[in-house]
A and B are shown apart, each in its own frame.
Chain A
Amino acid sequence: MEFWLARTVRMAFTLFVVVTLTFVVLRTSYDPVVAMLGPDATNREIELFRERWNLDKSLIEQYLTYIGNALRGDFGNSFRDGRPVFEVIAERFPYTLWLGGVSYLFAVLIGIPAGILAALYRGSIFDRAIMVVSVVGFALPNFFLGILMILLFALIWQVLPSSGASSWEHVIMPAFALGLTLAGILARFTRSAMLEVLSKTYMLAAQAKGVRPARRALFHALPNAALSVVTIMGLILGNLVAGTVVVETVFAWPGIGRLLVSAISSKDLAVVQALVFVIAAAMVLINLAVDLSYRMLDPRTRRST
């Protein structure tokens, strides 16, 4: 009970700080009016726009109104098209979920087994090959990989669509561009965690007892390496969000990453604020899920809390 209370208070405080900081930074760093109305806007238009969006009020008044509404679940309307921001986000969210889900699945299904195999065959050509590929995947900026793939698969060979999200074929290139980096990270960390566990004396004991290698790896080593791997799996979800901003732009994928970029460039403050809140809330929940998984995976953490 104490655990849950402490976590809930910390989560609420984190989100409050995020909302407040975002509000202050966005409202004081630039004026959205010219971006919204264009460089030739007349003074009268500017005046009307400010009135319409309460930008003529003091910062503190704007903040109190915003917080009051946010507590009731109302994060305002998009400056761009006047629709409630959560309606705009809800429209884009399934696309990001689709792309993110496929990329994440790709990263987990490729990265973790590759890391385990690299650790089990440490020092072999197989190990080195996996590590080279994972370093390349980790080091290649995903915008570069994306453009390279468009060049090869859409422009030269013309076997995949260049951009958009209207069929399952459209997800292949962006998911690979996004997932390869994450798979590289996961493979490297899984390998390190497995190597550490494999050097423990209880692994030697298992071997002495005659437990078969595959069983030793899956039932003795992997559960003990899982703590580090789960932590990384949580952290790379943050990378996933950052990656979607770039990959969705390169592939014209209509998800929330691209929404964030276009909202920032058009100074749609309400949408930017709501998106930052949604992303922060997602990260807080992911961290909570990771903490809960620790409690499942490691009995010692249950006893200590």
Chain B
Amino acid sequence: MITRRTLHKYLMGTTALALTAGGPGKLLAQERPALRIAVDNLWRTMSPMNGLSTTGNRININFYETFTEVDWFNDDTGASVVPKLATSWERDGNIWRFTMREGVMFHNGVEMTAEDAAFTLSEERYRSEEAYEPRGAIYTSNFVRVEAVDRYVLEIETDAPDPNMPQKLSGPQAKIVPKDYYLEVGVDEFGQNPIGTGPYKVTLFRPGEVMTMDAFEDYWGAPAPAASLEWRIVPEYAGRIAGVVAGDYDFAVNIPFDQQEQVRRFDDVVLVNTTAPNYVMFAFNTRPDPEDNPLVDVRLRHAMIQGVDMDTIVQALFGDETFHPAIPFNFPDYGDYYDPDMVDPHPYDPEAARALVEQTDYDGQELIWHITRGFYDNYETAAEIMIAQWAEIGINVRMVVVDNFSLAYQRPFHLLNMSNGTAFIPGDPYQPLWLDWNPNSTRASADWKVWDPTDRFVELGAEFVRAVEFEERRAAYLALSKEWQDVTPGMYMWKRLFSFAHRAGINWTPSSGEMRMYGDYLRIT
């Protein structure tokens, strides 16, 4: 039977044959396929930091480039970085010197220089009162000076020695933007018509509908393997799956875990699951707000940790695709910092949990758990099981599922869903442990804040930030992690999963949540 898919295949085959017959030559754009990707959403702006989001980062890595890049192809832990727009670097005390790649062009035909790299990380863009993208401030908080000292050489001075700068400059804050164009159009316009140095250039962006990109012919590296990319929103997962099966799309993102068995039945479709540098969790509201909040008692929080069998829940919901990190911050993503033999101080033990509850003044008061509907795959299902297990140790929790984070953040609540990234410094526990829990973090300073960091935590955090040598830094990390666990302002549930489906005939390596459509990551047969 001739279907749309088979007809498409025959036509592609005939075209390929005709091109081959024409003899070898330079790979022209029209010889490469145009790829269509069905996505669940597109963020409203594509400026690197104002548009910082799962749906933005998934795409913008194809048109922006960073100083260094996480090498997901050779190291799937995400702990290794390789040179990208910076070719070499060296540190002298508090000063890092980066040499930028020569001959790199922005999509508007202007050459990228150290001036652009310096502007990308500048005070003007991230840290000043009138900063264009103020979220960059927390990622560059230790920067004292950023200066182009030569056409291709850049210096970054920090307030104390920072051994992790090359790793940090693989992150979203280090996506290099063209200074003149950015200043000319302003950040809002830039976010709608972004320009970078990547293998694809943006040709159309309609938030809420579509983004298209063409291969950038003046790209400094290997040519993009696709002539164009079209990222189109297909809100319903059924539509996304059907689109790939029927051949309307080459890729689809975000395939719910409970639908994956069905997708695996199609021979022409490949399903790819990958874990993200991000842990799904819930936070305890540890503050006396509401006044009668029983969770101010740490024993009750520890009881709740010990009262749920998270390993079994995660296994039941996700099989072997992901795991429950029993000990907070002892994550496998951390290379040498990770200790697989570390002993869990609060293992699943319902008897011990019940005994802890009895030691407290908890009188069976209902605890409210705010959950954002459908934001994390399987979260509501896990919550139902956890609530049942908490009921068995005498703790009464009710989940309140709301439509968005604005509503989830509205007090009163006792537990709050959230997740925690780990990728700010690849291979180092800085982000989840300090960046996201320190006194200036949103968790400790926003209207919805869930904890007040202890003096000891702040003191240990400062020591951790100052630590340069590995052994010193590891000791500081362990002490800081222990203090966090003594307080326990939350529980890490599982490492987040991202799922994709693509048609057969494509060899694609996922890079966490990013969809890199270039280099070794994408091979089309």
Contact = CB atoms under 8 A, between A and B. Distances in A.
Given A147-B238, A159-B3, A266 B445 contact: no
A154 B242 CA distance: 6
Interface in A240-278: 249-252, 254, 258-259, 261-263, 265-268
A158 B208 contact: no
B3 A252 contact: no
A158 B5 contact: yes
Contacts of A163: 38, 234, 239, 242-243, 248
Given A80-B44, A161-B248, A45 B134 contact: yes
B248 A164 contact: yes
B400 to A, nearest CB: 15
A162 B239 contact: yes
A90 interface: no
A30 B409 CA distance: 11
A187 to B, nearest CB: 29
A157 interface: yes
Nearest to B247: A158
A42 to B, nearest CB: 6
B242 A91 contact: no
B235 interface: yes
B232 A158 contact: no
A158 B235 contact: no
A45 B126 CA distance: 11
A254 B209 CA distance: 7
Contacts of B50: 37, 45
A36 B406 CA distance: 10
A157 B3 contact: yes
A298 interface: no
A128 B274 CA distance: 55
Interface in A78-95: 79-83, 91
A268 to B, nearest CB: 8
B248 A39 contact: no
A198 B364 CA distance: 70
B236 interface: yes
Contacts of A254: 209-210
Contact of A42 (B38, B138, B206): B138
A257 B137 CA distance: 38
Nearest to A31: B406
Interface in B322-343: none
Nearest to B443: A40
Given A39-B418, A254-B210, A267-B406, A155 B245 contact: yes
Interface size range of chain B in the complex: 35 or more
A76 to B, nearest CB: 14
Contacts of A180: none
Contact of B442 (A41, A80, A157, A251): A41
A126 B210 CA distance: 47
Contacts of A41: 135, 442
Interface in A165-199: none
Contacts of A233: none
Contacts of B210: 254
B246 A161 contact: yes
Nearest to A158: B3
A35 B233 CA distance: 18
Contacts of B242: 150-151, 154-155, 162-163
A34 interface: yes
A261 B45 CA distance: 18
B407 interface: yes
A252 B239 contact: yes
Contact of A81 (B137, B207, B248): B207
A43 interface: yes
B293 to A, nearest CB: 22
Contact of B135 (A39, A42, A157): A42
Interface residues of A, number: 50
A73 interface: no
Contact of B404 (A34, A83, A164, A259): A34
Contact of B208 (A31, A48, A251, A259): A259
Interface string A22-60: 000000001111111111111111001000000000000
A39 B405 contact: yes
Contacts of B247: 158
A91 B205 CA distance: 13
B243 A44 contact: no
B4 A158 contact: yes
Interface string A81-121: 11100000001000000000000000000000000000000
Nearest to A91: B206
A19 B191 CA distance: 30
Given A34-B404, A80-B208, A45 B135 contact: yes
B52 interface: yes
Contacts of A267: 404, 406
Interface string B212-253: 000000000000000000001111101101110111100000
Given A163-B234, A163-B243, A82 B192 contact: yes
Nearest to A33: B406
B260 interface: no
B53 interface: yes
Interface in B384-405: 403-405
Most chain A CB neighbours (cut-off 10 Å) among B3, B239, B405: B239
Given A158-B5, A161-B248, A265 B406 contact: no
Nearest to B244: A162
Contact of A150 (B138, B232, B239, B406): B239
Given A39-B405, A80-B207, A252 B44 contact: no
B52 A38 contact: yes
B45 A81 contact: yes
A200 to B, nearest CB: 49
Contacts of B409: 34, 39
Contacts of A35: 404-406
Given A30-B406, A251-B239, A263 B134 contact: no
A32 B405 CA distance: 10
Interface string A132-172: 00000000000000010011001101111111100000000
A151 to B, nearest CB: 7
A25 to B, nearest CB: 15
B406 A82 contact: no
Contacts of B189: 82
B28 interface: no
Contacts of A44: 131, 134, 137
A159 B4 contact: yes
A262 B208 contact: yes
Contacts of B234: 163-164, 252
Contacts of A261: 235
25 contacts: A32-B406, A34-B405, A35-B406, A37-B50, A40-B135, A41-B135, A42-B134, A42-B135, A42-B138, A45-B134, A80-B208, A91-B206, A150-B238, A151-B242, A154-B242, A154-B248, A157-B3, A161-B4, A161-B246, A163-B38, A163-B242, A254-B209, A262-B233, A262-B235, A265-B404
4 A-B pairs closest in CB distance: A158-B3, A80-B44, A162-B242, A252-B234
Given A44-B131, A254-B210, 14 more contacts: A32-B406, A34-B404, A34-B406, A38-B405, A43-B442, A81-B191, A150-B238, A151-B242, A154-B246, A158-B3, A158-B246, A252-B232, A262-B208, A266-B44
Interface of A: 30-45, 48, 79-83, 91, 147, 150-151, 154-155, 157-164, 249-252, 254, 258-259, 261-263, 265-268
